[in-house]
Each structure stands twice: as structure tokens, then as C-alpha cells.
Amino acid sequence: MLNNDDSIIRFERVNKWYGRDFHVLRDIELEIRRGERVVVCGPSGSGKSTLIRCINALEPFQEGRLLVDGVALGAEGSAQDKAGERAVQQVRRRVGMVFQQFNLFPHLSVLDNLTLGPRHVAGLPRPEAEAQALAQLERVHIAEQAHKFPLQLSGGQQQRVAIARALCLAPQILLFDEPTSALDPEMVQEVLDVMTELAGQGITMVCVTHEMDFARSVADRIVFMDQGQLVEEAAPAAFFSRPESARAQQFLAKLH
């Protein structure tokens, strides 16, 4: 066990079902340290997206407990009372998320996409929200596109905007769900480069990705999921050279 100061995310025997019968997360136990970079991998349908969506309270779960930067998310039911609602709001302020499909608003300029949350959620006045948004756009090397609309940008640029947007609420944790899977191959690297830069800046990152070169060079730890279970976790060097479980061995064999 890590001591509490080190731990920023802790799943305690989390179980989740979709509907009554589909047991999508099974007894998940996972602890992530502040500043750690974790890559989650595993076959399609193994529960990776569901797992990380629990971290920003996009998905409820039915059993167990999840601690996110000191805030406790309880099993469904407890989340419906006032304290549960407050916990969800607190967690969303601490966690930024980047999706496969960017999820930018097409009718808003890049700048307005970035200032929406800070202005309406955090109550920041427009000039401050815009100054901050520009700073985040600079961080992903795209400030010159601030006044364009998302569809005037390439996929790689749109995803960098989405990353800047996630950074605008100054999150403690950044979640990525296959951020390069929807991109044309020639645009993957610019997004991975930005993610690698962020990884060097101390923010806690949990990233679902099949980009194994990125995982090898950036992750502190690889978590392998299969059929709703967390099957294996290891440092990248160990995971890639000698995976322990047969399921991880099969998964890696298919990637080559």
C-alpha cells in the first residue's frame, strides 16, 4: 500500500454492471500515484473505456469505492444524495478528459470551445478565460488557430485543441481514451508528441492507447485488462519483454 499522500486514484474492489447481467468491471483494485503515467491496454471490449470513465464520474458503478484526489466516489445509490452529487462535481473539476472523437463543439471557435468550461463552470470572466485558453493553446503549439472553427483544422490539430481544452480547468489528472485512434496515420505523432511533453510536466496521466512505442517510452506502468478484469500490471520493460499472463502474451503477439 502506498501512503495516502502519494495516492491520487484508488479503486477499491470496484464492480460495475451494464444492465443486470453484463458484469463489465470485476473487482478492480488499482492505485495510481500522484504524477504517475499509466497506460491501460487490452483487447477491444475488455472494459478500458468504462474503467477510465469511472475516474471522472462519467460512469456510475454498483460496488466498491473510488478515491480521486481525496474525493470519494461511492457505489450507485450513495451518489444520488447531496454529498454524492457534490463529490461528482469536485471530481470533474480535478479531472480532464480527452476522447477519441475530440468532442469539440463545431459551431464554436477554438477559443470559445476552450473558454466555455472556465466561464460557465468556474465562473471566470471572459478576458481571463481567454488569456488562460491562449496559454493552453500555446502549450499544445496551436495558438495561431484560436479563431478558427474545429472543422477548419486537421484531425491532429483538433485533438490538440481538445487536449488544451482539458487543460483549461487546471486538472490534477488527465484521462485519454484512445486519443489517436481516429486520426489519419500522419497525424498520430503530433498528438503523441504533445502528450509526451505533458507527461514530462508532472500531471497524472491515465491513457488508454494501442500506441505501444508511446507506452514503452512514456508510461511508468502498464495496466492490462481483459474481460473486465485487471489481469496484469507492470513496468513497461517487464510487461513488453516478459508478460506474465497468457492473455497478455496473446494480446502482445497480435500487435506485432
* Footprint of Mg ion on 34-73 (CB under 5 A): 49
By CB under 6 A, name the one of 10, 16, 37, 48 that touches ligand ADP. 48
Considering beta carbons, is residue 43 or 236 the nearer one to ligand ADP? 43
Considering beta carbons, is residue 51 or 166 the nearer one to Mg ion? 51
Asked if 18 is part of the footprint of ligand ADP (rule: CB under 6 A), the reply reads yes
Considering beta carbons, is residue 100 or 189 the nearer one to ligand ADP? 100
Q: What does the alpha-carbon distance between residue 226 and residue 107 come to, in Å, rounded to a whole number?
A: 39
SS3 42: coil
Q: Hey, what long-range contacts does 120-125 have (CB within 8 A, 24 or more apart)? A: 121/93, 121/169, 122/93, 122/169
Say which residues have a Cβ less than 8 Å from residue 102's Cβ, sequence separation at least 6.
150, 155, 158, 159, 161, 162, 182
Tell me the closest approach of the beta carbon of residue 52 to ligand ADP, in angstroms: 8
Q: What does the alpha-carbon distance between residue 6 and residue 104 come to, in Å, rounded to a whole number?
A: 33
Contact string 104-133 vs ligand ADP (x = CB under 6 A): ------------------------------
Considering beta carbons, is residue 16 or 221 the nearer one to ligand ADP? 16
Residues in contact with Mg ion, counted by CB under 5 A, come to a total of 1
Stretch that binds ligand ADP, among 26-34, 44-52, 168-176, 191-199 (CB under 6 A): 44-52
Considering beta carbons, is residue 41 or 188 the nearer one to ligand ADP? 41
Strand partners, 95: 173
Distances, alpha carbon 101 to alpha carbons 136, 163, 249, in Å: 20, 12, 29
Asked if 45 is part of the footprint of ligand ADP (rule: CB under 6 A), the reply reads yes
Give the helix/strand (H/E) hosting 138: helix 126-139
* Binding positions for ligand ADP, rule: CB under 6 A: 18, 22, 24, 42, 44-50
